[in-house]
Amino acid sequence: MSGDRFERLLSAYLDGELLPEEMAEVRAHLDGCESCREELESLRATKQLVGHLAQPVLPSNFAAGVWSRIERPAERRWFWWPRPAVALAAVVLAVILVAVPLVRGHLDRLKAAEVGPDLFVRSYAPAAAEDPFADRAFITLITTDAGLRLLGEDPRGLRR
């Protein structure tokens, strides 16, 4: 049997709560183990110290009160009121869920209006080139400029 196991049995040994054969075994171990004897003395001193503390006087209805609280059915909560941080996070999430599509839709509408003329110039260019007297170099120039603006670039960027 290991020393750790004897240390765990010392408190029960002091209180006389071990089986007779365990009592004999602990006793035999204590004869040969100085550290366990010191631990036993330390435990004994602690128990004596605690035993000298004054006993608190409980009210006569203390036990009844405890039992009545144990046996009382759980109160039913009609409203769930979260903690403030959770409530704030929920509100922020709700605002984001509503605001993001609105803002995104608005930006898309603005973007659509902004790209409109350049997209239309590019879409129109092949038809313009069917004009038998149109200059293809000119059509190419305005088409490539429109393409650059659609990419968000200034066609004459070096002037910036």
Partner 1 sequence: MSRPVTAGRALLVLAAVLFMGVLPAASQDAAERLLGGVTVEQVARHAIIAPQIVDYEGTKVLSILRGQAMETVTVSEAHKRPNRMRLEFLSPEEVAGRLVVDDGIQTWHYEPRLHVVIQGPTLGAQREGPFDRLLERYMISLLSLEEVIGRQTAVLSLKPRQGRGERRLWIDRTTGVALRTEERDPDDGLVSTTYFTRISYGLNFPDALFRPRIPAGARVVSPAEPSGPLVSVPRLQQAVGFAINAPQTLPGGFTLVGGEPVHGGPLRAAYLRYTDGARQVGLFMAPSARLGPPGRGAAVPALGGEARAMGWGPTRLVQWEARGVRLTLIGPLPLADLVQIARSLSGR
Q: Which residues are at the interface with partner 1 (CB under 8 A)?
A: 106, 108-117, 119-145, 147-148, 150-151, 153, 155-159
3-state secondary structure the chain: CCHHHHHHHHHHHHCCCCCHHHHHHHHHHHHHCHHHHHHHHHHHHHHHHHHCCCCCCCCCCHHHHHHHHHHCCCCCCCCCCCCHHHHHHHHHHHHHHHHHHHHHHHHHHHHHHHHHHHHHHHHHHHHHCCCCCCCHHHHHHHHHHHHHHHCCCCCCHHHC
Residue 76 vs 156, nearer CB to partner 1: 156
Residue 30 vs 119, nearer CB to partner 1: 119
Residue 41 vs 135, nearer CB to partner 1: 135
Residue 52 vs 156, nearer CB to partner 1: 156
Question: Shortest distance, CB of residue 102 to partner 1, whole angstroms?
Answer: 14
Question: Shortest distance, CB of residue 118 to partner 1, whole angstroms?
Answer: 8
